[in-house]
């Protein structure tokens, strides 16, 4: 069989980097994009030891001509759209950039595929944030969206763009509705990495206090390297469809904090302060998921759960610091 080519928009992020490694291991030719590939560091690809195996190209998803050019040049068999502003908190400060990078970027990709008449498979990174509060009922693929942040609004728009192009033009396009998934590649603007990094510094002697917002929010946390497997599996099916990807287990942020500090033989109560300035204008108090469809149709199930994720992130942090 001929070698498949995968084009990853957002290759330098957490998911893009792990996905690139997975696809390389499966024998793919992997091309990743950045707005300016000549000056991008692709730090995460270097951390995973795969930078020299990934081809890179410059492309901006909000520039339709740029998208057309990269699709024509590389003629991919599979496209993974993982690009766009990725922080819920930052989306309140940058709502326009968030909406454009996610919803307009996704629309440009879909329209370029349709315009060029390309026979390929398209994956779009959806988000559990689209569901909002589900009233304590686990979300399924049929649960209505009630987005509560500019980020979630943009992701909801992109989700329906994908569904529309699938139905209207027969494009093999699907969205993965991923719940929270973490790894050592997370930047510190994400609360899990903020917690892990601070706890490791405190364990090494720092006298700082970790300041957090609402620690009673409950989330479903999984392990990012496992979640990219689900992305790939979605594009190997006979029929395009949308899937929730989650562990099916929910924990309070306080539980994550406790697990991280306990793995360093620390009592989190001695080192954490709540700061009302860190509260979001709106937030999801309880995030619940049913990943049954992914298990049934994709054969995918999470193998790592919140306590595992916390410990693995702490271990990676300590190794990086030489401790």
- Active site (catalytic) residues: 127, 129, 151
- How far, in Å, CA of 188 to CA of 166, rounded? 36
Beta strand pairing status for 78-81 and 218-219?
unpaired
Q: Where are the beta strands (DSSP E) in the chain?
A: 5-9, 29-34, 55-58, 78-81, 121-127, 172-178, 181-182, 210-212, 218-219, 222-223, 243-245, 251-252, 272-274
* Contact between residue 294 and residue 300 where contact means Cβ atoms under 8 Å apart: yes
The DSSP secondary-structure symbol of 143 reads: S
- Enter the tokens of residue 109: 């990709």
- How far, in Å, CA of 136 to CA of 295, rounded? 22
Q: Which of 238, 249, 227 is nearest to 294 (CA)?
A: 227
Beta strand pairing status for 218-219 and 251-252?
antiparallel
Sign of the C-alpha dihedral, residues 274, 311, 204, 319? Answer: negative
279 phi, psi to nearest 5 deg: -75, 140
- How far, in Å, CA of 323 to CA of 319, rounded? 6
List CB contacts of 255: < 8 A, sequence separation 6 or more. 306
Q: Which of 32, 15, 9 is nearest to 227 (CA)?
A: 15
- 30 bridge partner residues: 6
Rg (alpha carbons) of the chain, rounded to whole number:
19
- Enter the tokens of residue 127: 């988000």
């Amino acid at each position: 069989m001929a070698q498949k080519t995968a084009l990853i928009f957002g290759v330098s992020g957490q998911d893009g980097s792990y996905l690139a490694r997975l696809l390389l291991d499966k024998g793919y030719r992997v091309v990743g994009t950045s707005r300016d590939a000549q000056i991008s560091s692709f730090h995460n690809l270097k951390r995973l030891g795969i930078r020299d195996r990934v081809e890179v190209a410059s492309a901006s998803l909000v520039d339709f001509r740029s998208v057309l050019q990269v699709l024509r040049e590389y003629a991919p068999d599979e496209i993974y759209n993982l690009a766009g502003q990725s922080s819920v908190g930052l989306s309140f400060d940058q709502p326009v950039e968030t909406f454009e990078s996610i919803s307009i970027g996704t629309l440009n990709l879909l329209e370029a595929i349709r315009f060029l008449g390309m026979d390929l498979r398209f994956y779009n990174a959806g988000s559990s944030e689209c569901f909002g509060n589900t009233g304590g009922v686990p979300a399924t693929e049929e649960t209505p969206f009630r987005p509560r942040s500019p980020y979630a609004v943009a992701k909801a728009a992109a989700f329906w763009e994908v569904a529309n192009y699938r139905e209207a033009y027969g494009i093999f396009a699907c969205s993965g509705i991923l719940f929270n998934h973490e790894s050592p590649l997370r930047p510190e603007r994400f609360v899990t990495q903020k917690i892990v990094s601070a706890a490791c510094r405190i364990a090494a002697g720092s006298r700082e206090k970790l300041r957090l917002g609402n620690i009673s929010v409950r989330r479903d946390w999984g392990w990012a390297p496992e979640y990219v497997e689900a992305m790939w599996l979605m594009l190997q099916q006979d029929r395009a469809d949308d899937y929730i990807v989650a562990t099916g287990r929910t924990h309070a942020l306080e539980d994550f904090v406790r697990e991280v500090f306990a793995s360093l033989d620390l009592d989190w109560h001695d080192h954490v302060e709540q700061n009302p300035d860190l509260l979001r204008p709106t937030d999801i108090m309880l995030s619940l998921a049913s990943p049954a469809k992914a298990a049934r149709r994709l054969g995918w199930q999470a193998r790592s759960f919140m306590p595992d994720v916390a410990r693995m992130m702490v271990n990676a942090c300590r190794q990086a610091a030489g401790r």
